[in-house]
Amino acid sequence: MAVPEVTAIIPVFNDRVSLEAAIPRSIEILSRIAGDYEILIAEDGSNDGSIECARHWEEKDHHVCLLHRDHRQGRGKALNRAINEAKGTIVCYYDVDLATDMQHLPELIDAIREGADIATGSRLLPRSDSVRTERREIASRGYNFLVRAILGSRIFDHQCGFKAFRKSRILPILPFIRSSHWFWDTELLVRSQRRGYSVTEFPVRWRAGRGTTVRLRDIFEMGSSILRLWWQIHVAKD
């Protein structure tokens, strides 16, 4: 297998049904837009058959590789490991439920080819096509407003699970990221912008996946994570 240009990472925790659809869809699109590629399944301690599904595809197609963990350590740690092990010069990841329409994958990859350090899909730009509950919409807009106001980010949607990086630029950031789960995306974007990295944000078509809800505890954790990162950056000088 030649050295791939693109590594696509699919983080997975107990989502076999979505993974069964995500792998062949990824192969279909990547085979058209990348000279060579690999797909890393960043599996994080699943027990629902996700491991067996990934292994089936790993045996069936040499582009697919399973990165398995016996115990769950968090989405952020799974992504850190996968990015470090990626062979591609361009690394992207997207949610296993394909909530972001995969028609945008060429645009995501091309943004890095054209010189951006980071590219990210956005559900909150004027031309975005996003469908979710009113409660989730309010929570998302409020969260992103706070990130912009408190942490000085210029991005409108930090949590869209549809991002790509130039690997050589992202590797120096990873050791500083402390979040092991959902806040990983925001922390990566904030720290990268503080280093002067170029970030391309573009509108996407997005539909909420199965079982995605917002709880009061989630809102509290959002605020706490933002304040914690502010402290790390401005007081601890991390």
Structure token digits, residue 196: 């002067």
In a domain, 142, yes or no: no
CATH code of 15's domain:
3.90.550.10
The residues annotated with a catalytic role in the active site are: 185
Summarised one tens digit per residue, pLDDT across range 113-126 is: 999 999 999 999 99
How far apart CA 158 and CA 162 sit, in angstroms, is 10
How far apart CA 14 and CA 151 sit, in angstroms, is 33
Backbone angles phi, psi at 63, to 5 degrees: -75, -20
Work out the average pLDDT over 153-168: 97
In sequence order, the β-bridge partners of residue 203 are 122
Structure token digits, residue 40: 């890393």
In sequence order, the β-bridge partners of residue 199 are 118
> Are residues 93 and 8 in contact, defined by beta-carbon separation less than 8 angstroms?
yes
How far apart CA 50 and CA 191 sit, in angstroms, is 32
In sequence order, the β-bridge partners of residue 37 are 6
In a domain, 229, yes or no: no
- What is the number of other CB atoms lying within 10 angstroms of the CB of residue 184? 23
> Are residues 93 and 159 in contact, defined by beta-carbon separation less than 8 angstroms?
no
Judge whether residue 147 has pLDDT over 60: yes
> Are residues 3 and 84 in contact, defined by beta-carbon separation less than 8 angstroms?
no
How far apart CA 38 and CA 27 sit, in angstroms, is 9
Residue owning tokens 């990626």? 86
In a domain, 107, yes or no: yes
**pLDDT-wise least confident of 11-20, 193-202, 221-230:** 221-230
Work out the average pLDDT over 175-203: 96
Domain containing 107 equals 6-131+156-209
Judge whether residue 203 has pLDDT over 90: yes
In a domain, 145, yes or no: no
Judge whether residue 209 has pLDDT over 60: yes
pTM, two decimals, is: 0.94
Q: What pLDDT, on a 0 to 100 scale, did the predictor assign at position 78?
A: 95
In sequence order, the β-bridge partners of residue 38 are 7
How far apart CA 66 and CA 77 sit, in angstroms, is 15
Q: What pLDDT, on a 0 to 100 scale, did the predictor assign at position 211?
A: 53
In a domain, 228, yes or no: no
In a domain, 192, yes or no: yes
Helix, strand counts (H, E) of the chain:
8, 9
Summarised one tens digit per residue, pLDDT across range 46-72 is: 999 999 999 999 999 999 999 999 999
In a domain, 127, yes or no: yes
Provide the number of structural domains found in the chain. 1
